[in-house]
Structure formats: structure tokens, C-alpha cells
Amino acid sequence: MPRYAYERLTALDNSFLLLEKPNAYMHVASTLIFEAGPLRRPEGGIDLDAVRDATAAALALIPRYRQKLKYIPLENHPVWVDDDRFDLDYHLRHTALPRPGRIEQLKALSARIMQQHLDRSRPLWEMWLVEGLEGDRFALISKVHHCMVDGVSGVDLLTTQLRPTPERRVREPYPYFPRPAPSGLELLRHEVLRRAALPLTALRDAGQFVREADDVRRDLTVRLRAVAETLGTSLRRASDTPLNRPIGPHRRFDWLSMELAEIKEVRRALGGSLNDVVLTVVTGAVRRFLERRGVATRGLDFRVMAPVSVRSDDERGRLGNRVSAWMIDLPVSLPDPRQQLERIAARTRELKESKQAIGADVLTQAAEWTPSTLLALGARNATRLLPFNMVVTNVPGPQVPMYLLGARMLEAYPHVPLADHLALGIALLSYDGRIGWGLNADYDLVPDLSLFLDDVRDSFRALRDAAEALAARGAPTPPDAAPPARPRRPNGRARPPERPA
């Protein structure tokens, strides 16, 4: 039995390290707003010691939070090893807004915290407790490197640290005994053995695919077709827009909240999925934004990348990335919101039928065979050849109130990082009957981010008006699209669904 412990990063997890540049960090983040409640100290302020104790107790459930990166010599591929000098006080930080702290100040603070790179010599996360927010509230600003989590596992992580009940009991933290890390020579020896075993691994994976496939020829044809379509989409450049310029190091962060019930009403009236409605709202907002910038939208090929979770039920709770992607053309040339929704709904139906997410997943798995040096070379050029103009990620969150030591979480706003030549990114998180929109933008390229926020509101209002007008005319309501039946494998397990992440 080896006397040391480590875990190799997948090619997808490693890609988020390779994509990071001085002007482009690759951590995901969120700003969570709480009522002070029982965490308010009698003398004022928030009880940081209690939050620290709760965080220390939760670390046993998320061991990655006490691990850091180590690199295989020559190969330069990263692995996770236990941090033998882990210090919680470095990662849990405390600050305050000048009272009475306004929401605008919290947004500016969130942007400044998020634009700072994480220290790669330590575990790749930070959590800032921000007190002094008006209305007897405080905030938690959390940032975790994308190589550790995707959207779904990030929500799983959130529910690990919070509770659906206002109880204040905190379990005793387990003692932490870091496992020894391998030496560079030991890592190199294991990598040589791993590469020698790759042909056998490929044969084993092929055998597993044959055993799990209902129809080998059909499944193989679907995968090949999905790969071909994914490659075809990836090689087609999107139109150049003011949002696709080299970005700088500074950020603006803004947000808004919508009632989930209102979005569902629009969906019931006009058809499509909840995510189709969200993408239609984005379409209308982008159209307004570009027209204000003097960009002709007719014939414009504006494309978004929408991450899609391929995480199976038995993978819930695990960190790391289990996502693929859809490339979706937004019909920004169409002024009618109903026509925009119809076009988007038709496209997402095509993507589900073509299994494009499977194609991207297959290409991701193939990257496991690629040396890290070649992946790094590809990453350096990838952002100049991006086949999309923006990232829009929509993650379902808990639909019940969540509490931190009895303090109720009121709002949650997610944050998606920007790659070079992507000046604006949109992340959504549903929580307790509302959807929080988090808009991350380059500080200099999008100085009018607040106007884009108004564009989002106006776009949704236009879509809602169209739904109400349809209902007033007594037109038949389109039937809700029933979720497709999840195909079963011979072993009885359901294949993971493709869902926005």
C-alpha cells in the first residue's frame, strides 16, 4: 500500500487552470445575503467565531477544501495533495462596509474581491464575511476555483454549509491529519505507468460501453454524429461584437432578482422550457444593448455557450466538473419576443435530439489522452478562436429557505468568470421561489452594465406582456413540454440527463 495519497485532476478540471491568465481568473463565486438574526452580537457586528466553528466542522465533508496543487515533473499535470500547513484563518476573512452599507457598495466590494486571483500554493478557495449591510443584514462572498467545482457541485457545496432549518447546533470538527504527499519522482513513476496502461484502459472503457449500450450500433452512431456536430459548431466563428475584445484585469458585478413564478407563468403561456424563457430574456437584452452601441443586429451571428450538466445521480455531492456544453444561436435580429422564444425552443429541441452535449463530453474524455503541455498550448490560443460570444449558465438551487446558524439566507447571486475576449457573462441561480441574475463584466469594456441590467428587465417585461396579450385573446395555451423519459441502461441505472448547469 502506498505511503502517500494524491488525486490526478481530470483534463476538464485542468483546463480551467490552463485558461487562467493575468487578466482572466477562473474561479466561480457567489454573493449571499443573510438576515443577521441570531448571529448578531450583543455589542454589534456578526459572530465570526461561530461562522468559523461551523466552517471548520463542515470541512470534513469537503476534503478538497484542505488540498492544494502539486505538479508531475516533466508532464506538468496537476494533482491534489493534502495541505500539511492548512490554516482556516487564511481562507475565512472578515470585513465590513461603512455603515449603513448600501447594496451598491456590496456590489463594488464583490467585484474587487472576485477580480483577485487565488493563491495556487494554497487550497483554492476563500470566503469573506461582510458585515455592516443596511437592513440588519450581512453577506458572504465565496470564491472557489473552477478546477474544483462546476455549477451543480457548487450548489451541493452550498447545501453542505447551510441548513434547511434554523438550528444553531454545530458538531465538533473532526481532527485533521494530512496524508503525506508523493515526491516528484513518485509522481513521475506513476504517470509513466498510467500512460503505459492507457491502451488497456481504452479497451476496458470500450467493453463497458458495449455492455451498457442498448444498441451498440445506434449508440455509436449517435455519439459520432454528436461529435461531428460539436466540431462543426466549434469551428464556426461567431460574429464580432463590442463584447468580444481583449479584457482587462478589473470587473463590474451587478445583479437583479425575479420571481420564479412569473417566469413559469410566461413559460405556461408561450411554451418552451424555463431555460428557453431565460435565453429569450437574454436575447432581448443583448439586442437592446447592441442597438444602443450602434451595432446592426440584422444577420448577426450571436452565440452563447450554455453549460449542461452530465452529472448522474450517484455523482451528486462530488466536487470537480461534470459538464458539457450547448452552443445556442440567439435570434437577436428578431424584434418580436414570441418569435425569439419559438426560435430558441426549436433550437434547444434540436440540441436534445442531436445529443450535442454528448459530443462535447466525448471530446472532453478524449482530452484525457492528451499531454498537459499540448493542452496548455491549445488553451493559450483557445480564447482567440472562441465559437461563442457569451456564457449563460443557469443552475437550479434549493427551493426552501436555507440558514447559516439560524440566520436566514435572503438572496443568492452567482458569478461566472470571464475568459479573454468575453467581456460579459451571465449566471443564474434559483433559490426559494426567486431567480438571482449575476452579471459579471469587464470594467472598461462594459461601463454601462447597469443599463444592460435595465435591458434584462425590459426584455422580460416585453415577454410577459406578450404572454398576457395572448391570454387576453383567449388563445389556447401551449402544452407544457413533458420532460423526456430518461433511457435506462441494462443495469437499471438511468443515464444522466442533459440539463443546464
Residue type, 240: D
| 407-443 tens-digit pLDDT | 999 999 999 999 999 999 999 999 999 999 999 999 9
Is it the case that residue 222 has pLDDT exceeding 50?
Answer: no
- Total H helices, total E strands in the chain: 14, 16
| 165-216 tens-digit pLDDT | 998 888 888 889 999 999 999 999 888 887 777 666 555 654 454 444 444 4
- For the entire predicted model, the pTM comes to 0.83
The yes-or-no answer to whether 7-186 and 215-479 have a common fold is yes
pLDDT at 255: 98
Taking the domain 7-186, which CATH number applies? 3.30.559.10
| 400-409 tens-digit pLDDT | 999 999 999 9
d(CA 74, CA 153): 31
The overall average pLDDT reported for the chain is: 82
Lowest-confidence segment of 134-138, 418-422, 497-501 by average pLDDT: 497-501
Q: For 13-33, give the secondary structure using H, E and C.
A: HHHHHHCCECCECCEEEEEEE
Give exposure, 211-239, as e/b (b: 16+ Cβ within 10 Å): eebeeeeebeebbeebbebbeebbeeebe
| 367-382 tens-digit pLDDT | 444 455 544 544 555 5
211 in helix, strand or coil? Answer: helix
The residue among 233 and 192 whose pLDDT is bigger is 192
Please compute Rg for the chain using Cα positions: 23
Number of residues in the chain: 501
**Long-range contacts at 473-482 (CB < 8 A, ≥ 24 apart):** 477/268, 477/269, 478/269, 478/270, 478/271, 479/271, 480/267, 480/268, 480/271, 481/271, 481/272, 481/273
Kindly give the residue spans of alpha helices, DSSP state H, lying in 59-166: 88-91, 103-114, 151-161
Is it the case that residue 490 has pLDDT exceeding 70?
Answer: no
Confidence grade of residue 324 (pLDDT, cut at 50, 70, 90): low
Residue 147 near residue 13, CB atoms below 8 Å:
yes
The residue whose grid cell reads 455592516 is 132
Domain edges within the chain: 7-186, 215-479
Lowest-confidence segment of 3-7, 340-344, 419-423 by average pLDDT: 3-7
Lowest-confidence segment of 101-105, 311-315, 447-451, 452-456 by average pLDDT: 311-315
Is it the case that residue 219 has pLDDT exceeding 50?
Answer: no
Residue 425 near residue 417, CB atoms below 8 Å:
yes
3-state helix, strand, coil in the chain (%, to 5): 40, 25, 35
215-479 carries CATH number 3.30.559.30: yes
pLDDT at 227: 43
d(CA 229, CA 347): 13
Read off φ and ψ for residue 489, nearest 5 degrees. Answer: -85, 160
d(CA 422, CA 373): 24
Lowest-confidence segment of 92-96, 249-253, 360-364 by average pLDDT: 360-364
Cell of 441: 463584466
pLDDT at 149: 78
6 in helix, strand or coil? Answer: coil
